[in-house]
Structure 1
Amino acid sequence: ERKKNERKLQYLSHYDYLTGLRNRHGFEHDSQLLLKKYTTGIGIIVCDVDGLKLVNDTIGHDFGDKLLQDVAQIIKNSVREDDITARVGGDEFCIAVPLTKPGIVENIIYRLRQEIKEHNRMNPILPLSLSLGFAVSQDQRVDIEALFKEADDSMYRQKIHHNLSTRSIFMEKLMKMVDEKGYINSEQVKRIQQYVSLMAANIDLSERQLDGLLLLAKFHDIGKIGTPDHILTKPEQLSEKEKKEIERHCEIGYRIAQSIPGLSSIAELILKHHEWWNGGGYPLKLKGEEIPLECRIFSILMAYDAMTTGRPFRPALSHREAIAEIEKNAGVQFDPDLVPVFLQSVGMGRAGAEDAKMPMP
């Protein structure tokens, strides 16, 4: 058992656990051995994953880790047996190539680009982009670290040009994925926006607040792109673990909105739209007026819409039943000062007026 643990520690000291490639220490050690074995010189290729931080910050580290594993496989598919491959940083990979024939480094870069094209053809929703740089030396006494820096500088010159276009393409693809997976329900958006207009007539909202609410109606669930499909489509009630997973959509949505110029103004509202008046909501456990006014309004409207349209695990309530639930939860889930405004807005206060104004779901 002790020897087994020693072997494991030895492996981890030279290899990256996520990708199976060498780590920086393993790369430095083995590239020196490579230099001694081949007298014809050596080439260094540096690859950097464009937009990895954006992927991690928006749809989560699980997606980012999968992207890193895909890059590692692309590198493995593109090199020869004697080439040294490594993940030398969070989003940076390196290949040491013995110069056994003219143009070998350029050939490997060509294969890398072809592999990336094929990967993106098979994965059009979240395409992969790598910035590549290289340097070569035929001097057997070359300083590997200096050669690496030369290749790294070459890569960064390319990355400057890649970053803006990569960000733009990624966000465009992300929004397309959101639309295709149905995280924006156009019928629900229409209903919520009608509810907003009804309440706005009875509350002194600024134009900015009204615009924020109308945007929130459309994009509040954008973070569900980071929630596994089997949880979102589960017909039964969710387990506690699954509930925790789905609650992450507020934070994921916040990070996505921050990355999109047109949505950055409502990032905070997306983060806080599931907070409760009594502090029992998520993710920040805010209470009372710590919660933005727009979120307190939206909380009531979303609850009404959810109750009257139903969910996979429970039937829809009638208008009167939904109103009764909202009244019951005033001061608990909902702002007690806004509930009467909501009731007035829908034409059904405690007097029980019959002419409810809410649009039919």
Structure 2
Amino acid sequence: MQRVFDGHNDVLLRLWRREKEGFDPVRDFVDGSPFGHIDLPRAQAGGLAGGLCAIYIPSDDLQMKAPGPDGRYDTPLPRPLERAPSLDIALQFASIAVRLAHSGGWRLCRSTAEIEAAMRDGIFAAVLHLEGCEPIDPDLAALDVLHAAGLRSLGPVWSRSNIFGHGVPFAYPRSPDTGPGLTEAGRRLVRACDRLGILVDLSHITEKGFWDVAGITDRPLVASHSNPHALVPVARNLTDRQLDAIRASNGLVALNFAVTMLRPDGREDAAVPLDDMVRHIDHLVGRLGIDGVAIGSDFDGATVPAEIGDAAGLRKLVAALERAGYTGTDLDKICRGNWLRILRSAWREG
């Protein structure tokens, strides 16, 4: 079975919510659950060998706008979050990740060598990612501590503003050029990530923020879970100009399974054929080359195509890619090789 390294998932969010409901998140992951998309049995069934596992602080005031008669929608950005309670929640997520590692349910990885070793050993390879940097202070002291604890990837913003920059809204049809980019604190954050060897993720940042990061970093540009705006004009997708810049940097874009970013009408409807997912891969390969395309499912953080269903359904996408002509080394690159190349570069492993 083809092994997949997933560039983005929200399994820690699902487990955090389950713990709030009184359940043991370690047992939920290890033994399996009828909820959400990822647990160990389903990961093993689908060939999901590991991934970037997000620490994400929920916004209680996010109210998704229903599409109008013409299909349009534009959801206002949630309000900015306070740092102290955000840090508390981030540490709760990290605690679940550490407890899972101590239980043997997965292995927390800080290098590509550790990821590859976990895959060889048949253990889920988890890498900590921060989706939106609300837990981090402007002086970046928390960044140093989180890095020491295993954080190896972050997105400066989610779809809301913070002290580091501005995110794109849930909106269709809409350009990703929706507001300002990085703040001065955000510029310092990107430079610090380059120094520490932390991947900077460009998914969900405004187009101006994208170009701000591109002008600062000397690392390949990466969007861990984004799709082509040319196929689905939602604000969260990337324009061809952005894709071309990612290719020029020898970077990567990973396919997001969120149906609102896959469907031409931008609707949250799980009736999305596998051929539509392959069509997005084809477009990305056409703009980025085979070395610049990977998978970033957004499992446990979005509505995914019904044909995929959950992590066990990954094998169906792999089969669809094979039918479309992606085989051998090319398929290996999309499923895991390209992520390992990018992480090796971002983490300055040579």
Common fold by TM > 0.5: no
From the CA coordinates, give the structure whose radius of gyration is larger: 1
Higher RCO by CA contacts (8 Å cutoff, separation 6 or greater): 2
* TM-score between the two structures when normalised by the length of structure 2: 0.28
The structure whose residues are more often helix, as a share, is 1
